[in-house]
Amino acid sequence: MRKNLTAEYAEKYAEDAEEFEKKKTGKPLRPLSAVRPYDVLISLRWSGKGEVSIAQNTETAAKLRCIACGATPVSASQDFRCTACGDLLEFFFPGWALDPLFSDPTSLKSLWLNRRTSRHALDQSGVWRFRELLPHIPNLEAHVITLREGNTPLYRLPRCARAAGVENLYAKHQGMNPTASFKDTGMTFAASSAHQSGFRWVACASTGNTSASMAAYAARGNMHSLVLIPDGKISWGKLSQSLDYGALTCQLRTDFDGCVQILNDLVRQKPVYLLNSVNPYRIEGQKTAAIELMEQLAWEPPDHIIVPGGNLGNSSAIGKALVEMRELKLISRLPRLSIIQAHGANPFYRCVREFGGKKLEPMTADTLATAIRIGNPASWKKALRVLQATGGEVEEVTEIEIAAAKAEIGADGIGCEPASAVTLAGLKKLRRSGFVKPAEAVVLILTGHALKDPDFTIKFHRGDLFADTPVPGTPDATEAAQAKNLQRAPVVLDANLGSVIAALDAAERSSSR
């Protein structure tokens, strides 16, 4: 029987690597089966004492490290924090330096590209396709849970580009994932790790998208899922998803930050696997959005990447991928990664602008972009590092700016949920401040699909989104005036041809295109 393409390619690749090693060292390569680049043994198991023990093979390519004290722990508490100092953990890859696979970026790029033609489930996933850059999960094939996530489109945004005053504007639409948000890329990886570790229950606190994603992946992996969400503060679309995928959904009378606290206490007492983005496997999976983006741009980095900031896991993940890709010479320079928050949920903006990155002061968050209604972001130190490494900026935007930007992205025929639109609103500010230049190439990371929050969209188009009109002469008043041009309230007509033709003619007269 004819071998499938992946197997053929893997064989060919193995031959190439052998040749390469012989040329370089004069010695033959160790057999691939013995030293996979990602051949790591890190398995997490519930110890019954509120701790997960992590068996690490010392010869491995990937290791866990604390971002603050640098400890490389062999066990982590169930809340995925360093047992020595309580800060966050991350994966790093000392084995990359030793492995010939990583000294040849061109071969890696061809390997990943070639997988696009494969029928293998792992290769069809836009996350697992890049598995060489991820920690290895032992006995992967038996544990992987994939919905063919990733593989999201990169669109040009011509209308938004004009509105923002840049020539080259793109959107990487992570809302085109299986559960319609970027969370799926991290979830496939972390849920597979939970499965491999033998957990029956997984859990998260969420503003709606993590819970939708986790519930779907848990269901696919035959695990139970527990969702903690703030009562009345997430969109119906997202809530309906976690119900449909069979999660135990608890609406707590608190905000997102309150849900996180309760969940952290819970995982210390119960054998429940935490799937919030403090889980370093989530970050690894989410890295792949940036790798895929670079592949889509023929490995020519844009000048800027702009992301929304909530709990700050996504910006950390994308930044980590950029730094790693440069280390591996997959890209020749770093794009600047900028993070945008809503004014009413801006603890990171204040951390950078007011406190010079020295401290983060938690706040009570409030914004109609409910996905990023977060006052105490867990990953702020990781995000800060990313800003510093890439030379990015942090901005805040008002509710009107968010609504106007969302309508503009919709008018480009793309659409997104409100939290994603902070990227365009932020770009406009970064243009005005001169941080982004007109000729620079910019990619906005759109994190969620337009249908995630139709209530917001309908209220905007009906003109019911805001109770107050902005003070004349303020930037909000200018935004509101521009946004009004984008409002398309539905018209209710008598059911006859004449009234439809009259509506059509009126629309044509006022059309700007």
Q: Mask 208-237, x = binds ligand F0G (CB under 6 A)?
A: xxx---------------------------
Residue-wise DSSP of 225-263: EEEEEETT-S-HHHHHHHHHTT-EEEEESS-HHHHHHHH
The mark string for 21-40 relative to ligand F0G (x by CB under 6 A, - otherwise) is: --------------------
b/e string for 39-69 if b means 16 or more Cβ within 10 A?
A: bbbbbbbbeeeebbebebeeebbbbbbbbee
Specify the amino acid at residue 448.
G
Q: Does 181 bind ligand F0G (CB under 6 A)?
A: yes
Please give the residue whose beta carbon sits closest to ligand F0G in the complex: 310
Indicate the DSSP class of residue 89: E
Work out which of 124, 264, 314, 338 binds ligand F0G, going by CB under 6 A: 314
Tell me the closest approach of the beta carbon of residue 418 to ligand F0G, in angstroms. 8
Q: What is the number of alpha carbons within 13 Å of residue 394 lying toward its C-beta? A: 26
Work out whether 346 is an interface residue with ligand F0G (CB under 6 A): no
Start-to-end CA span in the chain (Å): 58
Structure tokens at 86: 């309580």
Please choose, out of 120-128, 240-248, 290-298, 417-425, the segment that lies near ligand F0G by the rule CB under 6 A.
417-425
- In the complex, least distance from residue 313 CB atom to ligand F0G, rounded to whole angstroms: 4
Nearer to ligand F0G, 101 or 214 (CB): 214
Largest separation between any pair of C-alpha atoms in the chain? 84
Residue nearer to ligand F0G on the CB measure, 127 or 330: 127
Residue 417 binding ligand F0G, by CB under 6 A: yes
Residue 159 buriedness (CB in 10 A; 0-12 / 13-18 / 19+): middle
Q: Residue from 52, 88, 372, 480 that binds ligand F0G (CB under 6 A)?
A: 372
Helix axes of 454-462 and 399-411: crossing angle, nearest 10 degrees: 100
Residue written as token pair 């209710």: 492
Among 447, 450, 476, 479, binds ligand F0G (CB under 6 A): 447
Nearest residue to 422 (alpha-carbon basis) of 487, 367, 474: 367
Which residue, 134 or 306, is less far from ligand F0G as judged by CB? 306
20 C-beta neighbours (distance < 10 Å), count: 16
410 binds ligand F0G (CB under 6 A): no
Under DSSP, is residue 77 helix (H, G, I), strand (E, B) or coil? strand
- Please identify, among the stretches 293-301, 414-422, 474-482, 485-493, the one whose residues bind ligand F0G according to the rule CB under 6 A: 414-422
Candidates 60-68, 109-117, 308-316, 427-435; binding stretch for ligand F0G (CB under 6 A) = 308-316
311 touches ligand F0G by CB under 6 A = yes
- The residue within the footprint of ligand F0G, chosen from 420, 421, 429, 443 (CB under 6 A), is 420
Q: Which pair of structure tokens corresponds to residue 372?
A: 């990023």
* Residue 134 binds ligand F0G, judged by CB under 6 A: no
CA-wise closest residue to 37 among 66, 14, 69, 54: 14
Question: Distance between CA atoms of 426 and 428, rounded to whole angstroms?
Answer: 5
Is residue 177 part of the contact set for ligand F0G (CB under 6 A)? Answer: no
Is there binding between residue 419 and ligand F0G (CB under 6 A)? yes
Pick between residue 160 and residue 312 the one whose CB is nearest to ligand F0G. 312
Part of the chain binding ligand F0G (CB under 6 A), chosen from 40-48, 108-116, 305-313, 390-398: 305-313
How would DSSP label each residue in 436-472?
S-TTSEEEEEE-B-GGG-HHHHHHHHHT-S-SSPPPT
In the range 470-489, which residues lie near ligand F0G by CB under 6 A?
Answer: none
Please identify which residue in 78, 152, 193, 207 interacts with ligand F0G, judged by CB under 6 A.
207
Instruction: List residues binding ligand F0G (CB under 6 A).
Output: 181, 183, 206-210, 277, 308-315, 371-372, 417, 419-420, 447-448
